Amino acid sequence: MKYEFPEGFWWGSAASGPQTEGVFEGDNKGDNIWDHWYREEPEKFFNQVGPEKTSYFYEKYKEDIQLMKETGHTTFRTSIQWSRLIPNGTGEVNQKAVAFYNDVIDELIANDIEPFINLYHFDMPMKLQEKGGWLDRETVDAYVEFAKICFELFGDRVKKWFTHNEPIVPVEGGYLYQFHYPNEVNMKKAVQVAYHEVLSSAKAIKVYHEMNLDGEIGIILNLTPSYPRDESNPEDVKAAQLADAFFNRSFLDPSVKGEFPTDLVDLLKEIDHLPVIEEGDLETIKNNTVDLLGVNYYQPRRIKAKESNEKLADGPMPDDYFDNYIKPDRKMNPYRGWEIYEKGVYDILTNLRENYGNIRCYISENGMGVEGEEDFVNEDGVIEDDYRIEFVEDHLTFMHQAIQEGSNVLGYHMWTCMDNWSWTNAYKNRYGFIAVDIENQGKRTVKKSGHWFKKVSDANGFD
- The 3-state DSSP class for residue 272 equals coil
Residue numbers annotated as active site: 365
- The 3-state DSSP class for residue 411 equals strand
Cα separation of 137 and 276, whole Å? 9
Q: Write the burial class of residue 393 (CB in 10 Å: 0-12 exposed, 13-18 middle, 19+ buried).
A: middle
Cα separation of 392 and 388, whole Å? 6
Let me know: does 369 contact 362? Beta carbons within 8 Å: no
Per-residue H/E/C for 416-441? CCECCCCHHHCCCEECCCEEEECCCC
Q: What are phi and psi of 41, to 5 degrees?
A: -140, 65
State the virtual CA torsion across 333, 65, 118, 80 in degrees, nearest 10.
Answer: 120
**Cα angle vertex 324, ends 323, 330, to 5°?**
155
Cα end-to-end span (Å), the chain: 6
DSSP string, 153-198: HHTTT--EEEEEE-THHHHHHHHTSSSSTT----HHHHHHHHHHHH
Please name which of 414, 409, 399 lies closest in space to residue 368, comparing C-alpha atoms.
Answer: 414
Neighbours of 34 (CB within 10 A): 25
Please name which of 59, 106, 15 lies closest in space to residue 296, comparing C-alpha atoms.
Answer: 15
